Structures are given as C-alpha cells and as structure tokens.
Structure 1
Amino acid sequence: MSNLSAWDSYTDKKYSPSIKIGNDCSIGEFFNLSCINEIVLGNNVLIGRWVTVIDHSHGYLNEAELQVAPAERDLVSKGKIIIEDNVWIGDKVTICPNVHIHKGAIIGANSVVTHDVEANTIVAGCPARVIKTFNNKN
C-alpha cells in the first residue's frame, strides 16, 4: 500500500499541487508522496520501499505556532522537489522540501535528504552527505 496525496486545500488555505512522474519509474511498497507545491520524478527513477517525499510541513515552526495543534496549522512549503532521470533512491529515505536531486544520483538507504544532490553523486546519512562523486557528468 502506498500514499499519493495532492492537497488543493487544507484548513482554510488553497494550494495548487503539481505531481509529474516520468516514464519507466519503479516505486517500492509503502511509498508516501504528499504535495502542495510541486514534485517531479524524472524518467527511470528507482525508488525503494518505505520512501517519503513531502514538499511541505505543518506550520512555519515558530514559537507561537507551537501552541497550536499540528493538525490545525496551515501547510507550508519551502519549495518544490525535483528528482531527475536515472536516480536510485534506497529504502526508507526521506526527501525534504526544496531539494533538487540531479541526474544519476544515488541516495543510500535510511538517508534524510535536506539539500540538493549533484549529478552522478552518492549521498547517505542523516542528514545525507556526499559519499562519492563520479567525474563523468554526461
């Protein structure tokens, strides 16, 4: 079972979500994608099991909002998520808002991606850090 959500409204706020999935993507079980802004999966993206891709959070995370129940806060996006062609995402990865994963990148299992990932680069960890970059950037 997987979850694919495009929120056009939440509480009293309106959104314009856009989800684009390229050709020949393989998505593992228990995939969780939730969008209020924009999420793009390129062609030939391989996604493991239990992966989360969400372009938003509940509230602006300031002190005043901590007094409001999380489910009652507005949804807020820091930016879209772009995953280019030929990217491999391991099991149990979380990809945060405002991240661009470039062509041919590999995301190691259990990683939390909080920053852009360059082409042909392997990242892993929490938060994800560069493990190796290949010189061939074609």
Structure 2
Amino acid sequence: MGLFKVFVKKTIGGGKCLLYNISHGKNVEFGTHFKYVNKHGRMSIGDNVIFSSFTYIFNVRPSGYVEIGSNVRIGHHLQISCANHVHICSNVNIGPFVFLTDHNHNFENPDVPIKDQGISVKSGANLVIGEGSWLGTKVTVVGDVHIGKHCVIGANAVVTKDIPDYSVAVGIPARVVRQFDFLTGEWKKV
C-alpha cells in the first residue's frame, strides 16, 4: 500500500508520481495534510485544481481509479473512498466535509463485526459528479451514482440515486426539488 502525503502548498507544472500512480496537470494546489492512500490503483488530476486542507483519498482496490477534471475546487476535509471509479468532472465546486464513495460495507452476517465483512461494489460502479455541479457542505454520495451536469446538491444531503442534469437536490435521502426549464429560462419547482 502506498501513502502519498503532501505538505507543500502548490505544484506548478504537470507531472506524474510513478510511486503512487498519480498524474496531474498544471497549477494543482494541494492544501496542508493532503493524503492519498493507494492499493495500486491510480489517480489523474486535470489543470487548475485546488485541494483544500485535510483532503483524504483512498483507493481501496487495485482497480480503483479516481479521476478529477480541470478547474475543480475542493473544500477542506473531503474524503473519497474508491473501489472502482470515482469521477469528478471539470468545473465542479465541492464544499467542506464532503464524503464520496462508490462502494459500501457488507453487514449480512450478524455474528461477524461489520468492519470484518469487507465491502460490496456493484460491478462497473461509477460515482460521477457532472460538469459544473456544486456539492454543498457535508454532502455524502454513496454507490453507483451519477449526479448530472450543472446540479446543486444542498448541504447535508445524502445522495444514493442518480440526479438528472440541471437539478437542485436536497434532503436525506436526496430528492430533486427544482429543475431548470430551458423554455422559460427559470428554475422550476418539481
């Protein structure tokens, strides 16, 4: 298992860290206490990405692939746990204390502690945060979930199902409360 810790504030040019299988574009800023724990998975980061302090990214399986587009801003205390594929598209804004995971813990056997039962991952699971979307403070996204482009996910929401493009979703579990109407040019209640 590799552990990548960054204590620098900024990297200027693009590059690749072969030891931890990370490729990144230009102008990537790592806040203090950035950690990447990697079980031989990979991560790619586009240009102009800001990771605020205390970002933790875990690739928990060799097939894990964390993909982050360009012009992404990530608030402090983001946690990503990836077994298959977590994709944050370009121009996404993520608030503080957000948790993203494409898998869940097994809990079927009541005689075995949950921590010892492993994880379950849907075959081909992809957690996707669409282009230009915004995740508010303390949002949690779990499983094979696609959040569409230009979506707003309200603070404290728990997303377990797909959210269509141009939607506002809130609550636990998250539900769509508004969608953009291109005919009127307004956000309409759903």
Q: TM-score, normalised by structure 2?
A: 0.65
- Residue 66 (structure 1) shift: 2.4
Contact 2:103 2:144 in 1 (8 A): no
Greater C-alpha Rg:
2
Counterpart among 58, 68, 71 of residue 5 in structure 1: 58
- Provide runs of 4+ in structure 1 moved above 6 Å: none
- Asked which structure has the greater RCO (Cα within 8 Å, sep 6+), the reply is 1
Q: How many residues are paired up?
A: 128
Q: 1:131 aligns with which of 151, 174, 177?
A: 177
Normalising by structure 1, we get a TM-score of 0.88
Alpha-carbon distance in 1 for matches of 2:55, 2:172: 23
RMSD: 1.4
Identity %: 33
Shift in Å, 1:99: 0.6
CA–CA distance in structure 2, aligned partners of residues 53 and 66 of structure 1: 26
Give the drift of 1:16.
0.8
Distance 1:96 1:30 in 2: 17
Aligned to 1:88: 134
Whether the aligned pair in 2 keeps the contact of 1:91 and 1:110 (CA below 8 Å) is yes
| Partner residue of 1:69 out of 105, 113, 118 | 113
CA distance in structure 1 between the aligned counterparts of 2:121 and 2:181, rounded to whole angstroms:
33
Q: Which runs of 5 or more structure 1 residues have no equivalent in the other structure?
A: 9-14
